[in-house]
Amino acid sequence: MTAVLVLEDGRIFRGTAYGARGAGFGEAVFTTGMTGYQETLTDPSYHRQIVVQTAPQIGNTGWNDEDGESARIQVAGYVVRDPSRTSSNWRSTRELADVLTEQGIVGIAGIDTRALVRHLRERGSMRAGVFSGTRIGAAVDLVKQVQDSPQMAGADLYGAVTTREPYIVPATGAKRFTVAALDVGIKANTPRMMAARGIETHVLPADSTIEQVLALNPDGFFLANGPGDPATADGPVALTRQILERRIPLFGICFGNQILARALGRGTYKLRYGHRGINIPVIEHATGRVSITSQNHGFAVEGEAGERFDTPFGAAEITHTCPNDGCVEGLAALDVPAFSVQYHPEAAAGPHDAADLFDRFVALMVQGSAVGLPTAPPTGGRHTLRAEEGAESTEEPAADPATYGEGA
């Protein structure tokens, strides 16, 4: 059955129906990850986005009952080049196409995803629609439907993916700490990473109050990843300021990095096409260490590498940036115990270079209300740009950003 992908600028790609029949509307974005499609599809940060896979073959390992990052598929539509005809993996319980159909996710297969990605890189992420079955009509009508759909800039989406009721993820083994985690789109692997470090995580709805947080007597506060424009997150930003006032150790990732930044008085902006993949380099300026990270964000924090700035809570610093395009990838408050990163240290899917950030959160909680981001020692070798001022550099020649499929 024929299907079409329609972009808001009028570009149309024709292919075959994949998954459910009907129509799906969202922002067309691409991810460069060659593995982890199940984690991608179930990541709440992809809510109301039509995801384009740059990897040509998708579905080879089917679908299992362990790798979902939330209870259901979150994307608004799915675009692939060459879907697997049958899956082959010992953990697979069903086919990807069947799950897409069961959950009403409209997809399209067989299009030239290389041409589509080049278009999005040149023109930027934009609104789109996937149409199949009886929803395919005249091209001019389809384009108008897409242009009438909501834009991502100004989109308030975290409330659509947050938990409705608090729940607890217990520590693995002996409990060492209690952490209150604000669910603005949390991935399932994040509490698991904390549980492995003796943390009991209380996952709270996005509209939770400071009184509800304090009732837990937490050792730390966690700001999760999530979808939408951080400029709409007034409630989480206000709560974050109340956490900072009380000097509760705070750690944020992705959307949480943007929430902390706005609580500190920094602005955020929309990227041309964002960072989405599992091979994106990040430099930590204090150590010169380069981590290869998993990322999924279309908005970013204003700032420059190593910049220090004043906030209502004292000084703060830009701690991490992406060498591909200079995008801010992390920040830390210097007078209150709080830090955050723009990438995903829980790495589901992705490399584990940044897993030590959870250990730094533990160290911050051990310090209590003391300040200062605990830093990791330089790793040495090719991933260390500069161990200390005046030390011999092991920096390799800069790679072309196109090598990574990311950057400006």
Q: How many CB atoms lie within 10 A of CB 382?
A: 10
- Please enumerate in sequence order all residues whose Cβ is within 8 A of that of 41, keeping only pairs 6 or more positions apart, or say none: 51, 73, 74, 75, 78, 105
CA dist 33 and 164 (Å) reads 31
Q: Is 392 a catalytic residue?
A: no
Look up residue 379 and give its two tokens: 């790793």
Question: What is the three-state SS of the chain?
Answer: CEEEEEECCCCEEEEEEEEECCEEEEEEEEECCCCCHHHHHHCHHHCCEEEEECCCEECCCCECCCCCCCCCCCCCEEEECEECCCCCCCCCCECHHHHHHHCCCEEEECCCHHHHHHHHHHHCCEEEEEEEHHHCCCHHHHHHHHHCCCCCCCCCCHHHHCCCCCEEECCCCCCCEEEEEECCCCCCHHHHHHHCCCEEEEEECCCCCHHHHHCCCCCEEEECCCCCCHHHCHHHHHHHHHHHHCCCCEEEECHHHHHHHHHCCCCEEEEEEEEEEEEEEEEECCCCEEEEEEEEEEEEECCCCCCEEEECCEEEEEEEECCCCCCEEEEEECCCCEEEECCCCCCCCCCCCCCHHHHHHHHHHHHCCCCCCCCCCCCCHHHECCCCCCCCCCCCCCCCHHHHCCCC
- CB distance 237 to 259 below 8 Å: yes
- Among 8, 47, 344, 406, the one annotated catalytic: 344
- Separation between Cα atoms, residue 148 and residue 135, nearest integer Å: 16
344 labelled catalytic: yes
- CA 19 – CA 388 distance, rounded (Å): 53
Catalytic-labelled residue, pool 39, 69, 254, 327 = 254
304 is catalytic: no
Give the other-Cβ count within 10 Å of 74's Cβ: 25
Q: Which member of 69, 200, 346, 406 is catalytic?
A: 346
CA distance linking residue 258 with residue 250, whole number of Å: 13
Catalytic amino acids? Answer: 254, 344, 346
